[in-house]
A and B are shown apart, each in its own frame.
Chain A
Amino acid sequence: MAGEDELKLLGTWASPWASRVKIALHLKGLSYEYVEQDLDNKSELLLSSNPVHKKVPVLIHNGKAICESLVILEYIDEAFGAIGPSFLPADPYERTIARFWAAYIDNKLAIPWAQAFKANTEEEKAEGLKQTLAAAEMLEGVLKECSKGKLFFGGDNVGYMDIALGGLITWLQETEELCGAKFFDTAKTPLLFEWMERFSGLDAAKVSLQDGGRLVEFAKGGGLR
């Protein structure tokens, strides 16, 4: 086949950021080579593809490396714009909303979550959890106002924000096990809970998300990066 695209994804099975990219590639129907990385013994390929951060995920498209999961999502959306669904909406204002909430997920959910998980003191943990659960409430509010009864943050179909949050699902599902409080609580955040179940049921999610039990074992064993 002429003009074949070569796609390689460097990731770790536990990484929610890599899960985001796997989900996106699957939704687009793109085939790629997945290369599991050992972060304790970083490969030449990882170091040369992401010399600045030396982190996963890295998407290598025809030899060119793209780093940072949200940058990769936008790249996939743009480079493969003619294939499969679009992640970002067409309307400029709606695009700003999607980008705003993706940034929120990274800064206001993921960071406090990590704090709650890694906390050395009860105080630090409590503060991290408080912010994490506040983020859950916030996202519940977004679903209530924005989705207008539709299935996903993106509307009828999975969009950028869904993928941004979706990659984190297994980690978030294990919040009670790992940090002491439930993130997806059907009583407190019913819409978010439903969203989580719906998203997890997608083929793209099934092949990209981790097994909860294995993840907990890994995390408790000191594996979180």
Chain B
Amino acid sequence: MEKEPKGDDGGDLKLLGLTVSPFVIRVRMVLQMKAVSYRYIEQDLFIKSDLLVTSNPVHKKVPVLIHGGRPVCESSAIMEYVDEVWAASTTGASILPADPYERATARFWAAYADSKLLPAWVGIMWAATEEERTEKVDETLAAIGRLEEAFGECSNGKAFFAGDSVGYLDLVLGSQLLWFGVLRKMFGVVVIDDDAGSKTPLLASWAKQFVETDMAKEVVPDVDTAVEYLKKLQAHRPGSTVTQLLS
């Protein structure tokens, strides 16, 4: 299919999402970076729409990108798809580096951020006991500690994991920052500490830069929106899993 690069509306492009979901935020940021217009359709995960259920019958989760009527599911697959289809975009470099080893490194740490870090901080929010909460806080801090080290290795002294501009791993971890704000506000838990004597000084500086990017400002809702959503979930579904919470 022939595609015009800049300001391309991608033909028929829809995104089914939840504004506070890290999985959705990261996809929206890629679309923003590529200057691709799309129709955003907020989903109610309590009462799933026909469109969501038919587009993602296997998981019935967001995000789902529907391009020319064809659904793309799984946030990581969507990010790579957008990156590949709009590769010629003049407004955004590729989110993955060209070198296969660097790509593997980004994918490895992204998988880590989603499988070790994310479930840990979600666990803080749903912990039934103080003991469980403490355990989840420890797990979260251990995981963020690993990512602090990874940042030192990947960034080569630059602003982002990917270097001078935001890349795949920046998006996967950066899309979780909103909820770190919720953890601080509602639970007094500080995941990335920007005070003197912080154990995560590199990530603290990275986070500041990330939230200041145009696409973060466009796409990421404020912490209060996320707090309200969490309260709604707590009222309706005590003990929900990650799945029900954020996708």
B46 at the interface (CB under 8 A from A): no
A78 near B103: Cβ-Cβ < 8 Å: yes
- Bound-state CA distance A92–B77 (Å) is 10
- Bound-state CA distance A79–B105 (Å) is 13
B108 near A67: Cβ-Cβ < 8 Å: yes
Binding site for A on B (CB under 8 A): 58, 67, 70, 72-74, 76-78, 80-81, 84-85, 100-101, 103-104, 107-108, 111-112, 146
Binding site for B on A (CB under 8 A): 52, 61, 64, 66-68, 71-72, 74-75, 78-79, 92-93, 95-96, 99-100, 103-104, 108, 138
B58 near A92: Cβ-Cβ < 8 Å: no
Which A residues touch B72, using CB under 8 A? 93, 96
A104 near B84: Cβ-Cβ < 8 Å: no
Interchain nearest-CB distance for B153 vs A (Å): 11
A68 near B73: Cβ-Cβ < 8 Å: no
- The verdict on A79 contacting B100 (CB below 8 Å), with A68-B108, A71-B111, A95-B84 known, is yes
Q: 27 pairs across A/B with beta carbons < 8 Å? A: A52-B112, A52-B146, A64-B101, A66-B101, A68-B108, A68-B111, A71-B104, A74-B103, A74-B104, A74-B107, A75-B100, A75-B101, A75-B103, A75-B104, A78-B103, A79-B100, A92-B85, A93-B72, A93-B81, A95-B80, A95-B81, A96-B74, A96-B81, A100-B73, A104-B58, A108-B58, A138-B58
State the main secondary structure of chain B at its contact with A: helix
Which B residues touch A64, using CB under 8 A? 101
Give 20 new A-B contacts, CB below 8 A, not counting A93-B72, A104-B58.
Answer: A52-B146, A68-B111, A71-B107, A71-B108, A71-B111, A74-B104, A78-B103, A92-B81, A92-B85, A96-B74, A96-B77, A96-B78, A96-B80, A99-B74, A99-B76, A99-B77, A99-B80, A100-B73, A103-B76, A138-B58
